[in-house]
Every structure is written in C-alpha cells, then in structure tokens.
Structure 1
C-alpha cells in the first residue's frame, strides 16, 4: 500500500475563520452557513461527512470551500455526479462562482482521456475539481491512468458524491456502479475525506449509504432536513381523463398573449412517450401564433447532449417557458428562475418528488409552487399493511399506520367505501369548499421501511404535508 501523503498543515485559527474566508472569497453578504463550515473543515481534516440539506442550500460551496486555503492549491477533488448535463453545468459554476478550474469526464467527450483532457492534466492538478460519473470513475482506463498514478495520489483532497441517495436507489439494479463506489477508497490515501450529499436521505437510505461507502465509526452526520418554506406544496387528484392531460391545463394562463405570460415551469413525467404527448397537448393550448416558437419543449435522456445543453440555456434565458422532463433534469441542475414544478402521476418514491420539487424557487427571495397530480387510484390504495388498522368510516379520525413488507411484490390493499373522499380525493374538483372537504383530523404515520418512503401517506394525510416530510426525512 502506498504511504500516506503529507500536506501543509492548516492552522486551527484559520479553520475557525472559514465562514468569514468564504464570505470574502465568494463575495457573499454573509458568512458561510454552519453546515458548510463543518463540512469544509472536515475535508481539510480528512474526515468523512454525510450531509443532508435542502435543495438550493449551498452544497456546492462545500466542495469549493477547502480551496480558500492557499495550502490546498494543486490538490484535486473527485466529484461524482450522476448526469452529464449536471456535470457540464457544475464545471461552469465552479469557474464562474468559485474561480476554480474544473473538468467533466464523461461519454459526451469521446476523447476525454486522450486528447481533449489529457490524463496528465488531471494527474498534475490542472483541475481542482474533476466531475465524473460512478461508471467512468470505475473504468479500467481511469483507474490505471489516474487513480493508480503516484502524482495524482499525492494530490487527492476528497471524494464527494453528489445526490448520494442514488447509491441506495440505483445501486441495486439501474446503475450498479453506484453500489460499489466504496471500493474507490482502496485507490486513495488512507485518510481521504469522503463526503456524501443529498436533499433526500431517509433513515433507511442514510444507513445504506454509510455502509456502502465504508464509513467508519466516526464521521460528521449533518442533518439540516429538506424543508423549503418558500415552496408551497399542493397534492391533487386528476379529475379528468388521464389520457386527455387536461389536468395540466393550469400551467398555461387562460389569457396568455406572449411567452412571458407563462410562469417558468418544469413538468416531470416518468414515461418519455407520455411526456411527448404532454408537449403536444400543451402546445395546442397555446394561441396559434405562439405554437411554433418552442415555448414548450421535451427534456429527456434520449435527446442529444447538445440539445439538452441548449434547452437549459434557452430556459434560463426565458425563451422556453415549459420543460417536460424525465429524471434527466430531476437532480442538481441549478436553474434559479423556475416558479412552478409539476409531477405528473405518482413517482416511485417520495424522495423523487422532493428532489423534483426542489427545482422550484432557488433564487434568493423567490417563492414557488410544487404540485403533485396523482391518479385517482392513489386515494383508494391503503398504505401497505394498514388494512387492519384503517377505519371503515369515511370520516375516520383514527391514525392509519403505513407499514410495508420488505418484498416489493406485496399485494396492495384497497380502501373501504368513503375512504377516498375523506382523504382528499375530491379536492380541487369543485369551487364549492364543502364538496372538497377533507377530514383534517386524519394524521397518518410513516414506516421508515416503506418502499415508497411514505409517498401514499403524503397524498392521503389530512394534516400538514410538511409534517409528513419532516417525519420521513
């Protein structure tokens, strides 16, 4: 095993000033937040961190922070990021906001480890931050060319995993290299800080991430929750035929005359083909003179990298007003001007909705709206294993406890008569408030082992949904 590299020591006095140093370095009006300060100093001290904080709360600054110390000049942070579009965006963010050279190593750059970005440039510390996917990080070419390189070994500062909940969500089936990220430690100096960041760590996912990244018994566990008080949360059933997409009509104002009349909106749809139909439907809702301006656009992984990059730029510029997205834009992309986020139909897990809702209102002082439009069947499905405890009364005030089997094939229980109406099935159907009545005394609890992480509870509870999110996360 290679020896532990030695680095210049940063004084305790300087580390204590990290909040002030970040303010001056980044030209902020305030000192760095406590969670940023703790995470930055932990990296300098070669200690592991698991950081749970809301979207838009400044987790990127955690990666840039160690470089305010001159002693870290020439050192390199490996920043694992799941999506090419996000990697490319972060390269720009590090350069423009933090004055750091960064590079994305991904499949969009065919010669990424040969010509465009020579291996020697990475190993010699030309880039402070190397953004890379877990798959590319664990390729034989990157391991042999970079991780096994002695000069790079003596420059490594930290391994940071962004959107680290994907280690648990994707590692088993979808993108298996997420579950093996912990083995990268074997190629790094023994005392290298590993930082796992996300806005959606449930207790179960947190435990899984800690295990798979091989955290020891001592690490920094920073939990800021993920509440975004500036984003209103609305959950409604679809009241019109799902195939008509008419429940989405509200995103286009009835009196629209020009593109700027439409609030900047992201609509998330988990099926690409359905997303294309939504694009067509919304375009047809526009006045004829606006339909060919590209105001409504799709955004998904099947589209070229060039298209997606340009689409994000046009959305920021205000040329595109509505983006119909799959998860390709669900994580991390920092677009500050999104006013409305809509999730069309139930996603697989609650954390998916939280991540997507977190795209809204990221600009300081801005308010946003996150809407979850669900199938009517979401109100007739009991949270798993609660059939025995749920009341058969429509106006039941008893608490239904959400239990789930560890098997994902558990048969779903159907709710008794009157259950759906009491739990909000009719909300939004009529202007008459009494017709939309919900039993607000219904307070549903969440089992932290539930496969959907409490998504059905969020939909059906009669009390505050922020309470549900606080219980889950």
Structure 2
C-alpha cells in the first residue's frame, strides 16, 4: 500500500485531517529520511509521530514501533494518555515508570510507541536493555527527538544526555530515520542539532514554518519590578474568580501578594512537590479549572495542550528569543485572541544578562513579530507580520492610526487607578509573616532541593549547605529578590531564583 492510501486510512480511522506540513513530514519519514521539523506551537506536531507505527505497518507489512525521546515526565505522561485514549499502545520508561514489568513487555513488542527520557535510553540499566533487545528493537522504524531545541539549550549544562543522543544510532537498525521536532530553531541551532544527531545534509529533509501566531499580541513594558505591575492579573482573580482569564506567569522573583485567592493560584517548578505538579497538570487543562494562574519555571507547559490559556506573562526579560517564543506559544492554542506580555528592567537587558537579540526585542526597535520572523527564518527572505497592525504588538499599536484599537490598560500605570488594591511600596520595610510550621516546611523543602542538586551534580550544590539553609530559613521573612539571597552567601544567581520560588511557595 502506498503512502497516500495509508494516510487516507488513518484520517478516516481517527476522524481528522493532516495539515500540509504533517503530510510533508510523514512522507519523508516513511521514505526513511532524517527530518528536521520546525512548526509553530499549536500546530499539532505530535500528529506527525502518533500514527507512524500504523503507517509503517501498512506500507511495509511489518510490525512497527517508534521511540520518542522527550525532556519532561509531565509531557511524556500527557502524550501517553492521549495515545491510550485513541486506542494506540504506548508506555513511558524512566523514573516516572514504577511498573518494572513494563520492560519485559517492551522487549516483547507489546507497545507501538515508547516514550523515554534521554537518561533512561542512554545510561546502562533496565530501561536501556528493554529498548536495545527483543522485538521492540528490531521493529523500531523511527526515533523522534521531541522538543529538539533542548539539545542546544540544555545539552551542555542541564541534562548532559541530550548532547549524547547520537549514540542511539548504534543501537537501532541501520538507516533508522531520526526526526528532530521543535517549535523554534535558528539557522545556528539547526546546524548544531543536526551535528549532534549525526544528520547528514543530503539525506535530511527540512520542513519548517515561521512561529507567526496571528491571534497572539506581544506587549513589551519596562518596569521597576514592583508587584503593582501584576495587579491587573490579581484583580481579575479577585473579581472573576473561576471565570478569570487563564494565565501562566513565568517568573524570576515574584513577591508574595496578600489577599489573593490562593486556591486559584499554583506554583510549578522542578522543586515543587510531585503531588502538586500532578494536581496542576491535571487541573489546568480543564475548561472549568479552578486554577486560573500558575507561577512557573520555563519547563511548565512544554508540549502539553492547555487550549484556553489567554495570557502569558514573562516576569523579567527572557534569556533568549527561543525560550520566549516557546513560552508565548502556550497561549491562544484554541484560536482565541491571546497576550504575551514581557516586563523587563534595565538590569535584565544589561550586558551579559541576556542575548543581544533579546535586548533589541525589549527596546522595540521595530515590530516584535518581524524581529521574531527575521530571527527564526531558515532562509534569507524578508518576512513581514500578517497580523492586523493594532493586534500585532506594542510597537505596532503605538504607531497604529485606525482609531478603534482595543485599550490595554496594563500598558499604562494601572496601579494608579486601583488604590483599593495597592501593595506596599518597594522601598518600605517589607516583611512577610512566616509561622513555625511554615519555617519547618521551608527547611524540609530546602533539604529536598539540596538532594536534587546533589543527584544532578549541579554546580550550585556547594552553596546550599546546612549553614546556608538555616540562614535562609531564619531570614525568610525579609527575602524578596535574588540579591537578598545572594547576600547570605549563596553565590549563584540561578540557585537564588530557585530558593526564592521555594520561599514564595510556602507563604
């Protein structure tokens, strides 16, 4: 059976229609070509590999399976559930898989799709053995590297296994196609990812689109990092409660806010308790979710389909436009109009704090979407935004003359019109009340976090010794920013950010 017939059968069976770039990608993979695929957030990139085993079986008449390498447990579990709901056999290997019997079932060929972290697939142990032996291994028709931008962003400093993924070529049948899948990549990133995966230029197809989202408005605002800048979000919660706009705040040093309905706000980062992570990941995607705001680290939402997020807030300039675009793309996935708002300070964009491209973006030298299009273009053609001018970005809105633009209050000083919710001044002698029980919980969380850092052999581990933990707990009522924590002897800015999040999580 040829590829076109097989694709039509899949569309009829699952009642959907492949998009143009889906078809281009799948056909290349079925021809056993390596593929470098860049498609915008919300395009449905997972559709490319969800049906590959069935398509290979129809075109080759041989039992087929695929391996998907994914960076996050939450993402793997979410995708596995979707596949199982569709009747496709799938499983996950790694730390989140408690059923060790799954290893034997993988080797026996019981699963069409297996999700794995780089660590589980590469390091010696039960899971690697299950992937490298038996029926599964001989049936593998493709290896998918999902969220492939992690190879360049995390490979050297966060998860070293991401920079070793080319080793997988030696454990699967010869000429097994490797597929790099991401929403963001520059020419330089493409070159580096292809090099790390041993992708040869002449047998690799590149399928790509710019990350243009017509329904997404970019707002960039300089700030002194006072909580009053975010009061418009908190007011939405106070007034509308469960009807408040679903919002993700990617933060560096958000302060605690009094008198907020905490049950509608959640925290999500790597040191958040696992039970809380599970709750957030299961609750937020619901259309009637009681959680309306999540304060999160960068990884939250990666690859997970939360369709009705209306606002993404970046508290502090992003470190790179890749991260910014990935995070922004988690809004408006159901097609509704959505906002991506950046609050940055002069310190954020000072030399060495971020990439030059981010500083230019924040300074609004031209249309935000044109900056992004130029940055992510994989060809040499000029690109212009297709979005209506006043719906495009704060730069275009400032130059729009249509006379009927929607008002965006938070671009101005919204705090001045909302004295009833005014927070304490930045220069006041701020302190938060922390009970004895909260202090005990904070210490336990810091000790757990120290264990995580030790397991990861993280550079900042040495700073978080027993003495430092005791000092942090004792001074917690007065710790509001990274500089406060660094003043206690924690000589790592990233570690200080993580500690600040832990403090804010318990108060």
Q: Deviations over 1:233-278 (max 9, x none)?
A: 111111xx42x42211121346943412410000001x4xx35x3x
Which of 14, 19, 41 aligns to 1:55? It is: 41
Where does 1:101-120 land on structure 2 (aligned, <5 Å)? Answer: 101-109=89-97, 111-112=98-99, 114-115=100-101, 117=102, 119-120=103-104
Distance, in Å, in 2 between the alignment partners of 1:103 and 1:335 is 22
Q: Deviations over 1:283-308 (max 9, x none)?
A: x253xxxx25x101111111233321
Distance, in Å, in 2 between the alignment partners of 1:285 and 1:86 is 33
Q: Deviations over 1:303-329 (max 9, x none)?
A: 233321211222223110000001230
- Cα RMSD between the aligned structures? 2.2
Secondary structure of 2:280 counterpart: helix
1:152 matched to 2:136: yes
What is the match of residue 465 of structure 1?
Answer: 368
The change in CA–CA distance for 1:142 and 1:210 in structure 2 (over 3 A counts) is: farther
What is the match of residue 425 of structure 1?
Answer: none
Which of 204, 211, 219 aligns to 1:219? It is: 204
Distance, in Å, in 1 between the alignment partners of 2:140 and 2:192 is 25
Where does 1:22-101 land on structure 2 (aligned, <5 Å)? Answer: 22-28=10-16, 31-69=17-55, 70-71=57-58, 74-96=63-85, 98-101=86-89
Distance, in Å, in 2 between the alignment partners of 1:342 and 1:134 is 30
Q: Deviations over 1:48-68 (max 9, x none)?
A: 100001011010000113244
What is the match of residue 375 of structure 1?
Answer: 345
Runs of at least 5 residues in structure 2 that lack an aligned partner in the other structure:
377-507
Aligned residues: 370
What is the match of residue 293 of structure 2?
Answer: 322
The change in CA–CA distance for 1:302 and 1:144 in structure 2 (over 3 A counts) is: closer
Contact preservation (8 Å) 2:249, 2:293: yes
Which protein is richer in helix relative to its size?
2
The change in CA–CA distance for 1:65 and 1:235 in structure 2 (over 3 A counts) is: same
Contact preservation (8 Å) 1:18, 1:37: no
Q: Deviations over 1:27-65 (max 9, x none)?
A: 12xx31121112212222221100001011010000113
Distance, in Å, in 1 between the alignment partners of 2:293 and 2:221 is 20
Contact preservation (8 Å) 1:77, 1:130: yes
Q: Deviations over 1:72-129 (max 9, x none)?
A: 7742211111011111111112222x431211112123x44x23x2x22112221111
TM (normalized to structure 1)? 0.74
Runs of at least 5 residues in structure 1 that lack an aligned partner in the other structure:
1-10, 385-408, 413-450
Which of 227, 231, 236 aligns to 1:245? It is: 227
Where does 1:372-411 land on structure 2 (aligned, <5 Å)? Answer: 372-377=342-347, 381=350
TM (normalized to structure 2)? 0.69
